[in-house]
Amino acid sequence: MNSVTRTTAEISERRLDGRVVLVTGAGRGLGAETAVALAQAGAEVVLVSRSVKELEEVARRIVSSGGRAQIVVCDVTDGARFRAEIARLDRLDILVNNAAVNLPEPFVDVSEEHLDRVMTLDVRAAFLVAQAAVRKMLEAPDRRESGGAVINVSSQMGHVGASQRTVYCMCKHAIEGLTRAMAVELGPENIRVNSVAPTFLETPMTASFFANRQFRDWAVSMIPLGRIGKPEEVAGVIVFLASSAASLINGASLLVDGGWTAH
């Protein structure tokens, strides 16, 4: 195989034509950029979030570039509602389990309200979303041949500890454990399960953090590449994991952290 043929084959492996992908937290930040990148790779994207206006804007970006998208306005912490929405889909091949929240505060000051809020979305809802999505994948008559993929969006905080982030670290460590257990159980069904663990990104969720110059300087100092990440840099990794180019990757956590965890 010459270099031109090899390059063409490699590009083809990263295509997602004919695949249906569901992205939670798709209205903004990493979820929005991931949805756009998946559509550019040929997938039909199901956009899930609570905000119809945000979803409409993401869908507009996708459709204006020739892609396909549909909107599902849903709070993923409502398991019954999410299962009902999944049931309406004709098929589902790939899940990007992205919705999450972070409420940084000192360990001794964490209230039960905040503890429950973060764990409900970041762990309980993530589990129920994955469960409903996999059930749908298993319904596909061609699933043994076509396979499926789940990409859980974790964090570098799923691999390390950090001050002011005890609840978030706990939740993301749980997501890493869930990813590995799902990978072992679902591998024989030809459904691959992996996680992506980004460093701090420039997103609406982190904007208030970076408004504090001292915090921003600290975060940059922890990243050997010397800069905060961009959502599109992680979106490309998610597209890769969703594609056949990653067909032997299962139960892995891909760190997209600029070297944070290499310390």
Q: For 120-149, how does the pLDDT look when each residue is reduced to its tens digit (9 = 90+)? A: 999 999 999 999 999 999 999 887 888 999
DSSP line for 185-252: HHGGGTEEEEEEEE--BSSTTTHHHHTSHHHHHHHHHH-TT-S-B-HHHHHHHHHHHHSGGGTT--S-
Which residues are known to be catalytic?
Answer: 168, 172
* Amino acid of residue 219: A
Dist. CA 89–CA 20, nearest whole Å: 9
Does position 47 have pLDDT exceeding 60, yes or no? yes
With both helix axes pointing from N to C terminus, report the angle between 166-186 and 112-119 in degrees, rounded to the nearest 10: 30
Split at pLDDT 50, 70, 90, the class of 3 is low
Q: Tokens for 123, please give them.
A: 């762990």
Mean pLDDT over 157-161 rounds to 98
* Amino acid of residue 206: T
| Confidence at residue 52, expressed as pLDDT on a 0 to 100 scale | 97
Domains (range + CATH), the chain: 3-255 (3.40.50.720)
Q: Report helix, strand or coil for 143.
A: helix
Dist. CA 91–CA 152, nearest whole Å: 19
Split at pLDDT 50, 70, 90, the class of 1 is low
Rounded to two decimals, the pTM is 0.94
Dist. CA 103–CA 165, nearest whole Å: 8
Give the distance from CA 238 to its chain's centroid.
Answer: 7
Q: Report the sign of the C-alpha dihedral through residues 73, 82, 87, 192, in that order.
A: positive
DSSP line for 6-65: HHHHHHHHT--TT-EEEEETTTSHHHHHHHHHHHHTT-EEEEEES-HHHHHHHHHHHHHT
